[in-house]
Protein backbone atom coordinates (compact mmCIF):
# COMPACT_ATOMS: atom_id res chain seq x y z
CA UNK A 1 0.00 0.00 0.00
CA UNK A 2 1.26 3.53 -0.77
CA UNK A 3 2.42 5.68 2.16
CA UNK A 4 -0.54 8.09 1.85
CA UNK A 5 -3.02 5.20 1.81
CA UNK A 6 -1.31 3.66 4.84
CA UNK A 7 -1.84 6.87 6.77
CA UNK A 8 -5.37 7.60 5.56
CA UNK A 9 -6.81 4.07 5.43
CA UNK A 10 -4.77 2.25 8.10
CA UNK A 11 -4.18 5.24 10.42
CA UNK A 12 -0.45 4.45 10.38
CA UNK A 13 1.43 6.84 12.69
CA UNK A 14 4.93 5.44 12.10
CA UNK A 15 5.41 6.98 8.66
CA UNK A 16 5.06 10.67 7.77
CA UNK A 17 4.56 10.94 4.00
CA UNK A 18 4.99 14.30 2.29
CA UNK A 19 3.64 16.15 -0.73
CA UNK A 20 3.29 19.89 -1.15
CA UNK A 21 0.41 22.00 -2.47
CA UNK A 22 1.54 23.74 -5.69
CA UNK A 23 4.62 21.52 -5.76
CA UNK A 24 4.57 21.83 -9.55
CA UNK A 25 4.78 25.51 -10.22
CA UNK A 26 6.49 28.81 -10.53
CA UNK A 27 9.26 28.29 -7.93
CA UNK A 28 10.81 25.65 -10.25
CA UNK A 29 13.03 27.03 -13.05
CA UNK A 30 12.14 24.07 -15.28
CA UNK A 31 8.45 25.02 -14.92
CA UNK A 32 9.12 28.69 -15.70
CA UNK A 33 10.93 27.63 -18.84
CA UNK A 34 7.89 25.75 -20.14
CA UNK A 35 5.57 28.51 -18.95
CA UNK A 36 7.53 31.18 -20.85
CA UNK A 37 6.89 29.35 -24.10
CA UNK A 38 3.23 28.76 -23.18
CA UNK A 39 1.64 32.06 -22.16
CA UNK A 40 -1.89 30.64 -22.30
CA UNK A 41 -2.35 28.84 -18.96
CA UNK A 42 -5.54 26.98 -19.95
CA UNK A 43 -3.93 25.71 -23.15
CA UNK A 44 -1.00 24.50 -21.08
CA UNK A 45 -3.34 22.57 -18.77
CA UNK A 46 -4.92 21.06 -21.91
CA UNK A 47 -1.60 19.88 -23.35
CA UNK A 48 -1.30 16.41 -21.85
CA UNK A 49 2.37 15.99 -22.75
CA UNK A 50 3.40 19.23 -21.07
CA UNK A 51 0.98 19.06 -18.13
CA UNK A 52 2.08 15.51 -17.29
CA UNK A 53 5.73 16.55 -17.61
CA UNK A 54 5.14 19.52 -15.27
CA UNK A 55 3.33 17.24 -12.81
CA UNK A 56 6.40 15.00 -12.64
CA UNK A 57 9.01 17.78 -12.38
CA UNK A 58 8.98 18.03 -8.57
CA UNK A 59 9.10 14.23 -8.20
CA UNK A 60 12.29 14.12 -10.25
CA UNK A 61 13.94 16.56 -7.84
CA UNK A 62 12.51 15.58 -4.46
CA UNK A 63 11.53 12.37 -2.68
CA UNK A 64 7.81 13.22 -2.55
CA UNK A 65 5.11 10.62 -1.88
CA UNK A 66 2.51 11.91 -4.33
CA UNK A 67 2.06 13.66 -7.64
CA UNK A 68 -0.76 16.21 -7.94
CA UNK A 69 -1.99 16.69 -11.44
CA UNK A 70 -1.05 20.03 -12.99
CA UNK A 71 -4.44 21.55 -13.73
CA UNK A 72 -6.67 24.09 -12.02
CA UNK A 73 -9.94 24.19 -10.13
CA UNK A 74 -11.19 26.67 -12.75
CA UNK A 75 -11.03 24.02 -15.49
CA UNK A 76 -14.52 23.15 -14.27
CA UNK A 77 -16.20 26.48 -15.17
CA UNK A 78 -14.07 26.41 -18.33
CA UNK A 79 -15.52 22.99 -19.17
CA UNK A 80 -18.97 24.50 -18.65
CA UNK A 81 -18.18 27.10 -21.32
CA UNK A 82 -17.75 30.02 -18.96
CA UNK A 83 -14.90 32.19 -20.19
CA UNK A 84 -11.78 31.77 -18.00
CA UNK A 85 -8.53 33.69 -18.46
CA UNK A 86 -5.44 34.11 -16.33
CA UNK A 87 -3.99 37.59 -16.41
CA UNK A 88 -0.37 38.01 -15.43
CA UNK A 89 0.11 39.53 -11.94
CA UNK A 90 -3.66 39.63 -11.46
CA UNK A 91 -5.04 36.09 -11.44
CA UNK A 92 -8.12 34.56 -12.99
CA UNK A 93 -10.78 36.58 -14.80
CA UNK A 94 -14.04 34.87 -15.68
CA UNK A 95 -16.73 35.89 -18.13
CA UNK A 96 -20.27 36.64 -17.09
CA UNK A 97 -22.25 33.54 -16.32
CA UNK A 98 -25.00 32.59 -18.76
CA UNK A 99 -27.17 30.20 -16.81
CA UNK A 100 -29.33 29.16 -19.78
CA UNK A 101 -26.29 28.19 -21.79
CA UNK A 102 -24.61 26.38 -18.90
CA UNK A 103 -27.79 24.44 -18.17
CA UNK A 104 -27.70 22.95 -21.67
CA UNK A 105 -24.19 21.46 -21.42
CA UNK A 106 -24.10 17.69 -21.57
CA UNK A 107 -21.69 15.33 -19.89
CA UNK A 108 -20.15 14.54 -23.30
CA UNK A 109 -19.60 18.24 -24.14
CA UNK A 110 -17.91 18.80 -20.80
CA UNK A 111 -15.68 15.74 -20.89
CA UNK A 112 -14.65 16.45 -24.48
CA UNK A 113 -13.67 20.01 -23.65
CA UNK A 114 -11.26 19.08 -20.84
CA UNK A 115 -10.33 15.57 -21.96
CA UNK A 116 -6.54 16.21 -21.98
CA UNK A 117 -6.67 16.59 -18.17
CA UNK A 118 -7.73 12.95 -17.93
CA UNK A 119 -5.12 11.86 -20.47
CA UNK A 120 -2.44 13.62 -18.40
CA UNK A 121 -3.61 11.77 -15.30
CA UNK A 122 -3.40 8.49 -17.14
CA UNK A 123 0.16 9.29 -18.23
CA UNK A 124 1.28 10.34 -14.76
CA UNK A 125 -0.28 7.39 -12.95
CA UNK A 126 1.30 4.96 -15.42
CA UNK A 127 4.76 6.50 -15.17
CA UNK A 128 7.45 4.53 -13.37
CA UNK A 129 8.13 7.48 -11.03
CA UNK A 130 4.70 7.19 -9.42
CA UNK A 131 4.87 3.48 -8.62
CA UNK A 132 4.18 3.10 -4.89
CA UNK A 133 3.23 6.79 -4.82
CA UNK A 134 -0.18 8.39 -5.10
CA UNK A 135 -1.56 10.39 -7.98
CA UNK A 136 -3.79 13.06 -6.54
CA UNK A 137 -6.78 14.33 -8.47
CA UNK A 138 -8.59 17.41 -7.23
CA UNK A 139 -11.57 19.71 -7.55
CA UNK A 140 -12.60 23.03 -6.11
CA UNK A 141 -15.36 22.75 -3.52
CA UNK A 142 -18.80 23.90 -4.70
CA UNK A 143 -18.59 27.07 -2.57
CA UNK A 144 -15.17 28.15 -3.85
CA UNK A 145 -16.19 27.53 -7.47
CA UNK A 146 -19.43 29.45 -6.92
CA UNK A 147 -17.34 32.35 -5.62
CA UNK A 148 -15.21 32.51 -8.78
CA UNK A 149 -18.15 31.92 -11.12
CA UNK A 150 -20.27 34.73 -9.70
CA UNK A 151 -17.53 37.10 -8.54
CA UNK A 152 -15.67 36.63 -11.87
CA UNK A 153 -12.33 37.15 -10.12
CA UNK A 154 -10.56 36.37 -6.87
CA UNK A 155 -12.54 37.51 -3.81
CA UNK A 156 -9.18 38.44 -2.23
CA UNK A 157 -10.23 42.07 -2.27
CA UNK A 158 -13.94 41.59 -1.68
CA UNK A 159 -17.06 39.69 -2.67
CA UNK A 160 -19.35 41.68 -4.98
CA UNK A 161 -21.82 43.61 -2.83
CA UNK A 162 -24.77 41.88 -4.53
CA UNK A 163 -23.16 38.41 -4.49
CA UNK A 164 -26.05 36.74 -2.65
CA UNK A 165 -28.82 38.76 -4.32
CA UNK A 166 -30.03 36.19 -6.86
CA UNK A 167 -30.70 33.15 -4.64
CA UNK A 168 -32.36 31.34 -7.51
CA UNK A 169 -29.27 31.69 -9.67
CA UNK A 170 -27.07 30.43 -6.83
CA UNK A 171 -29.31 27.40 -6.38
CA UNK A 172 -29.14 26.58 -10.07
CA UNK A 173 -25.36 26.95 -10.21
CA UNK A 174 -24.87 24.75 -7.14
CA UNK A 175 -27.01 22.03 -8.65
CA UNK A 176 -25.06 22.16 -11.94
CA UNK A 177 -21.78 22.16 -10.01
CA UNK A 178 -22.81 19.08 -8.05
CA UNK A 179 -23.48 17.16 -11.26
CA UNK A 180 -20.28 18.17 -13.06
CA UNK A 181 -18.01 17.90 -10.03
CA UNK A 182 -19.08 14.27 -9.76
CA UNK A 183 -18.42 13.73 -13.47
CA UNK A 184 -15.01 15.40 -13.15
CA UNK A 185 -14.08 13.28 -10.12
CA UNK A 186 -15.32 10.08 -11.75
CA UNK A 187 -13.14 10.65 -14.81
CA UNK A 188 -10.09 11.54 -12.75
CA UNK A 189 -10.46 8.31 -10.78
CA UNK A 190 -11.04 6.32 -13.97
CA UNK A 191 -7.73 7.64 -15.28
CA UNK A 192 -5.60 6.86 -12.26
CA UNK A 193 -6.27 9.39 -9.49
CA UNK A 194 -6.17 7.37 -6.25
CA UNK A 195 -6.68 10.23 -3.79
CA UNK A 196 -9.03 13.20 -4.30
CA UNK A 197 -8.46 16.54 -2.60
CA UNK A 198 -11.28 19.08 -2.38
CA UNK A 199 -9.96 22.64 -2.20
CA UNK A 200 -12.30 25.07 -0.43
CA UNK A 201 -9.94 28.02 -0.54
CA UNK A 202 -12.62 30.58 0.36
CA UNK A 203 -14.38 28.63 3.14
CA UNK A 204 -13.16 31.33 5.54
CA UNK A 205 -15.47 33.91 3.99
CA UNK A 206 -18.60 32.36 5.51
CA UNK A 207 -20.07 31.83 8.94
CA UNK A 208 -23.33 30.90 10.67
CA UNK A 209 -26.20 29.48 8.64
CA UNK A 210 -24.36 30.09 5.37
CA UNK A 211 -21.88 27.37 6.32
CA UNK A 212 -24.63 24.76 6.18
CA UNK A 213 -26.08 25.86 2.86
CA UNK A 214 -22.91 26.55 0.95
CA UNK A 215 -20.23 24.44 2.59
CA UNK A 216 -21.37 21.56 4.81
CA UNK A 217 -24.16 20.05 2.72
CA UNK A 218 -22.73 20.51 -0.79
CA UNK A 219 -19.32 19.21 0.37
CA UNK A 220 -20.87 16.29 2.25
CA UNK A 221 -22.61 15.15 -0.95
CA UNK A 222 -19.34 15.29 -2.82
CA UNK A 223 -17.39 13.51 -0.07
CA UNK A 224 -19.96 10.71 -0.01
CA UNK A 225 -19.66 10.42 -3.78
CA UNK A 226 -15.85 10.06 -3.64
CA UNK A 227 -16.19 7.48 -0.87
CA UNK A 228 -18.61 5.49 -3.07
CA UNK A 229 -15.78 5.21 -5.62
CA UNK A 230 -13.56 3.68 -2.93
CA UNK A 231 -11.02 6.48 -3.11
CA UNK A 232 -9.88 8.44 -0.03
CA UNK A 233 -10.92 12.09 0.05
CA UNK A 234 -9.01 14.94 1.73
CA UNK A 235 -10.82 18.23 2.42
CA UNK A 236 -9.07 21.58 2.73
CA UNK A 237 -11.63 24.07 4.08
CA UNK A 238 -9.07 26.86 4.26
CA UNK A 239 -9.53 29.32 7.13
CA UNK A 240 -12.87 27.88 8.19
CA UNK A 241 -13.52 29.04 11.77
CA UNK A 242 -14.43 25.61 13.12
CA UNK A 243 -12.53 22.64 11.69
CA UNK A 244 -13.96 20.33 14.36
CA UNK A 245 -17.55 20.98 13.34
CA UNK A 246 -16.63 20.72 9.66
CA UNK A 247 -15.09 17.28 10.21
CA UNK A 248 -18.03 16.08 12.30
CA UNK A 249 -20.54 17.03 9.61
CA UNK A 250 -18.64 16.36 6.38
CA UNK A 251 -16.57 13.36 7.58
CA UNK A 252 -13.73 13.45 5.04
CA UNK A 253 -11.13 10.67 5.24
CA UNK A 254 -8.51 13.29 6.11
CA UNK A 255 -8.44 17.05 6.64
CA UNK A 256 -5.81 19.55 5.52
CA UNK A 257 -5.24 22.48 7.89
CA UNK A 258 -4.17 26.04 7.10
CA UNK A 259 -1.32 27.83 8.84
CA UNK A 260 -3.57 29.78 11.21
CA UNK A 261 -4.71 26.56 12.88
CA UNK A 262 -3.09 25.79 16.23
CA UNK A 263 -1.72 22.25 15.67
CA UNK A 264 -1.88 21.32 19.37
CA UNK A 265 -5.53 22.33 19.62
CA UNK A 266 -6.56 20.53 16.42
CA UNK A 267 -4.90 17.37 17.72
CA UNK A 268 -7.30 17.46 20.68
CA UNK A 269 -10.32 18.37 18.51
CA UNK A 270 -10.02 15.94 15.60
CA UNK A 271 -9.62 12.17 15.39
CA UNK A 272 -9.28 11.71 11.61
CA UNK A 273 -5.89 11.83 9.80
CA UNK A 274 -4.52 15.37 9.47
CA UNK A 275 -2.45 16.95 6.70
CA UNK A 276 -0.45 20.16 6.38
CA UNK A 277 -0.19 23.28 8.49
CA UNK A 278 3.32 24.70 8.07
CA UNK A 279 3.32 28.34 6.94
CA UNK A 280 4.75 28.52 3.37
CA UNK A 281 6.62 31.68 4.41
CA UNK A 282 8.87 29.52 6.62
CA UNK A 283 10.45 28.29 3.37
CA UNK A 284 11.54 31.89 2.73
CA UNK A 285 13.50 32.04 6.01
CA UNK A 286 16.71 30.10 6.77
CA UNK A 287 17.46 26.39 7.04
CA UNK A 288 17.71 26.43 10.81
CA UNK A 289 14.29 28.01 11.25
CA UNK A 290 12.82 25.68 8.61
CA UNK A 291 14.10 22.70 10.57
CA UNK A 292 12.75 24.01 13.86
CA UNK A 293 9.27 24.71 12.47
CA UNK A 294 9.08 21.43 10.52
CA UNK A 295 10.11 19.36 13.54
CA UNK A 296 7.50 21.22 15.59
CA UNK A 297 4.69 19.84 13.39
CA UNK A 298 6.26 16.37 13.23
CA UNK A 299 6.60 16.24 17.02
CA UNK A 300 3.06 17.40 17.68
CA UNK A 301 1.62 14.83 15.25
CA UNK A 302 4.07 12.07 16.20
CA UNK A 303 1.33 9.71 17.44
CA UNK A 304 -1.38 10.84 15.01
CA UNK A 305 -1.87 9.77 11.38
CA UNK A 306 -0.26 12.74 9.64
CA UNK A 307 0.69 13.70 6.08
CA UNK A 308 3.24 16.47 5.87
CA UNK A 309 2.26 19.46 3.71
CA UNK A 310 2.07 23.25 3.97
CA UNK A 311 -0.81 25.36 5.25
CA UNK A 312 -1.31 26.73 1.71
CA UNK A 313 0.52 26.52 -1.63
CA UNK A 314 4.29 26.93 -1.94
CA UNK A 315 5.14 30.57 -2.77
CA UNK A 316 6.62 31.35 -6.22
CA UNK A 317 9.66 33.05 -4.65
CA UNK A 318 10.67 29.87 -2.76
CA UNK A 319 14.22 28.62 -3.31
CA UNK A 320 14.05 25.00 -4.59
CA UNK A 321 17.00 24.22 -2.26
CA UNK A 322 14.79 25.02 0.71
CA UNK A 323 12.16 22.63 -0.63
CA UNK A 324 14.85 19.97 -0.94
CA UNK A 325 15.88 20.65 2.64
CA UNK A 326 12.28 20.39 3.85
CA UNK A 327 11.69 17.03 2.18
CA UNK A 328 14.93 15.69 3.66
CA UNK A 329 14.01 16.83 7.18
CA UNK A 330 10.68 15.01 6.94
CA UNK A 331 12.25 11.87 5.44
CA UNK A 332 15.00 11.76 8.10
CA UNK A 333 12.60 12.23 11.00
O1 LIG B 1 2.12 30.14 -13.95
C2 LIG B 1 1.11 30.77 -13.67
O3 LIG B 1 0.97 32.00 -13.77
C4 LIG B 1 -0.10 30.02 -13.22
C5 LIG B 1 -0.19 29.93 -11.75
C6 LIG B 1 -1.10 28.75 -11.43
C7 LIG B 1 -0.72 27.43 -11.19
C8 LIG B 1 0.68 26.88 -11.17
C9 LIG B 1 -2.52 28.78 -11.39
C10 LIG B 1 -3.39 29.94 -11.64
N11 LIG B 1 -2.97 27.51 -11.11
C12 LIG B 1 -1.91 26.65 -10.98
C13 LIG B 1 -1.97 25.20 -10.76
C14 LIG B 1 -2.86 24.69 -9.70
N15 LIG B 1 -3.97 25.33 -9.16
C16 LIG B 1 -2.75 23.44 -9.11
C17 LIG B 1 -1.74 22.43 -9.60
C18 LIG B 1 -1.25 21.38 -8.80
C19 LIG B 1 -0.31 21.75 -7.68
O20 LIG B 1 -0.77 22.01 -6.57
O21 LIG B 1 0.92 21.69 -7.91
C22 LIG B 1 -3.76 23.34 -8.13
C23 LIG B 1 -4.04 22.20 -7.17
C24 LIG B 1 -4.53 24.54 -8.18
C25 LIG B 1 -5.71 24.80 -7.34
C26 LIG B 1 -6.29 26.15 -7.28
N27 LIG B 1 -6.43 27.07 -8.29
C28 LIG B 1 -6.89 26.70 -6.11
C29 LIG B 1 -7.02 25.99 -4.79
C30 LIG B 1 -5.78 26.03 -4.00
C31 LIG B 1 -5.39 27.39 -3.47
O32 LIG B 1 -4.32 27.85 -3.87
O33 LIG B 1 -6.12 27.95 -2.65
C34 LIG B 1 -7.35 27.99 -6.44
C35 LIG B 1 -8.05 28.95 -5.51
C36 LIG B 1 -7.05 28.21 -7.81
C37 LIG B 1 -7.38 29.42 -8.62
C38 LIG B 1 -6.14 29.99 -9.21
N39 LIG B 1 -5.52 29.51 -10.32
C40 LIG B 1 -4.37 30.21 -10.56
C41 LIG B 1 -4.24 31.19 -9.53
C42 LIG B 1 -3.13 32.20 -9.44
C43 LIG B 1 -5.35 31.02 -8.67
C44 LIG B 1 -5.62 31.73 -7.38
C45 LIG B 1 -6.14 33.11 -7.60
C46 LIG B 1 -6.69 33.73 -6.33
O47 LIG B 1 -5.90 34.06 -5.42
O48 LIG B 1 -7.90 33.89 -6.23
Q: How far apart are CA 292 and CA 283, in angstroms?
A: 12
In whole angstroms, how large is the CA radius of gyration of the chain? 19
The sign of the torsion formed by the CA atoms of 197, 276, 31, 67 equals negative
- The CB of 25 under 6 Å from ligand 1? The reply is yes
Determine the atom of ligand 1 nearest the C-alpha atom of 88: 3
Q: What is the pLDDT of residues 26-72, one digit of tens each?
A: 999 999 999 999 999 999 999 999 999 999 999 999 999 999 999 99
Q: What are phi and psi of 184, to 5 degrees?
A: -65, -40
Q: What is the mean pLDDT of residues 212-232?
A: 98
Ligand 1 probe mutation, 34, 55, 72, 312, most atoms within 8 A of CB: 72
Ligand 1: centre distance to CA 72 (Å): 6
Does residue 313's CB lie within 6 angstroms of at least one atom of ligand 1?
Answer: yes
Name the residue at shortest CA distance from atom 44 of ligand 1.
Answer: 91
- pLDDT band of residue 218 (cuts 50, 70, 90) is very high
Which atom from ligand 1 is nearest to the alpha carbon of 23?
A: 21
Output 237-244 pairs: Cβ under 8 A, ≥24 positions apart: 237/141, 237/200, 237/203, 238/199, 238/200, 238/201, 238/202, 238/203, 238/204, 238/312, 239/203, 239/204, 240/200, 240/203, 240/204, 240/211, 240/215, 241/204, 241/207, 243/269, 243/270, 244/269, 244/270
pLDDT surpassing 90 at residue 159: no
98-126 pLDDT, tens digit per residue, is: 999 999 999 999 999 999 999 999 999 99
Cβ contact 277:297 at 8 Å = yes
Residue 268 CA to ligand 1 center (angstroms) comes to: 31
**Domains of the chain, first to last:** 3-332 (3.20.20.210)
* Atom 36 in ligand 1: residue holding the nearest Cα: 73
Question: Ligand 1, from 19, 30, 31, 73: best to mutate by most atoms within 8 Å of Cβ?
Answer: 73
Determine the pLDDT at residue 157: 67
Cβ of 23 less than 6 Å from ligand 1: yes
pLDDT band at 158 (very low <50, low <70, confident <90, very high): confident
Which residue has a Cα nearest atom 4 of ligand 1?
41
Amino acid sequence: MTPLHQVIKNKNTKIKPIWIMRQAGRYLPEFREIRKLNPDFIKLCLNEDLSSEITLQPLKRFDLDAAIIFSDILMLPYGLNQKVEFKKNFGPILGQININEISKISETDFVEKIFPVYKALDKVSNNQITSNKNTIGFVGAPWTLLVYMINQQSPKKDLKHDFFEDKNLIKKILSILEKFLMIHIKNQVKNGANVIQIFDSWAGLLQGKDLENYIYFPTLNLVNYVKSLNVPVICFPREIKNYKKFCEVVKPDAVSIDYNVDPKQILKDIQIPIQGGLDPKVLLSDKENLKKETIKYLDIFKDHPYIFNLGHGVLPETDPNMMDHLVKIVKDY
